[in-house]
Amino acid sequence: MATLTAHAAGPALSPTNTSPIAAIVHLEHGVADGVLADFAFALRQAGRRVRGVVQQSTGGTGKEATMLVDLDQGTRFPLFQRLGAGAGSCSIDQHGVAAASVVLRGALDAAPDLVVVNRFGALEAAGEGFADEMLALMSEGIPLLTVVAEAYRFDWQHFTGGAGVELDPSREALDAWFAGLQRGSGQ
């Protein structure tokens, strides 16, 4: 049985209530990214039309080794910029994020089974980053799955109007959510 986290601000997942909007909510940094990527790649391998971007390390050291990877084409976009020792500003590479947003806009026309967005974080909570693309996907009813740190959970709930399902960072929870979507759509 999948473990799902239902909160007062969002609908609980049940056989009769399977929102196409979901977030893997996590407390520990680094746990959910691998779960999301593994899930997305497994669905693609099973023949599902999954689009979007996941966060992966290129194996180097430091934040600069983290890239956004286009699930369909394999294109890599930088997520962080090198600011140098002692820098105090945000290291998110906004140019890399903007370039990767093309992947999400392209998913609008691709009729995917699922769109994966690496994260709903500080940028999206401020209406930047992938916020516009995520809203466009949700307004079209395209299933959307992302990762949300506990610190941004309230922002996520506000962003989705409470319509998003909150999932534990486990493959079982993701499988149960996606299977519920498929049952709900008659596939």
Q: Are 22 and 185 in contact (CB under 8 A)?
A: no
CATH fold, domain 27-80+91-181, is Rossmann fold (3.40.50)
Domain ranges of the chain: 27-80+91-181
pLDDT tens string for the chain (187 positions)? Answer: 333 443 333 444 433 347 999 999 998 777 899 999 999 999 999 999 999 999 987 766 556 668 899 999 999 999 886 655 554 445 688 889 999 999 999 999 999 999 999 999 999 999 999 999 999 999 999 999 999 999 999 999 999 999 999 999 999 999 999 999 988 766 6
Strand segments (E) across the chain? 4-5, 21-26, 50-57, 66-70, 76-78, 114-120, 144-149, 165-167
Full-model pTM: 0.85
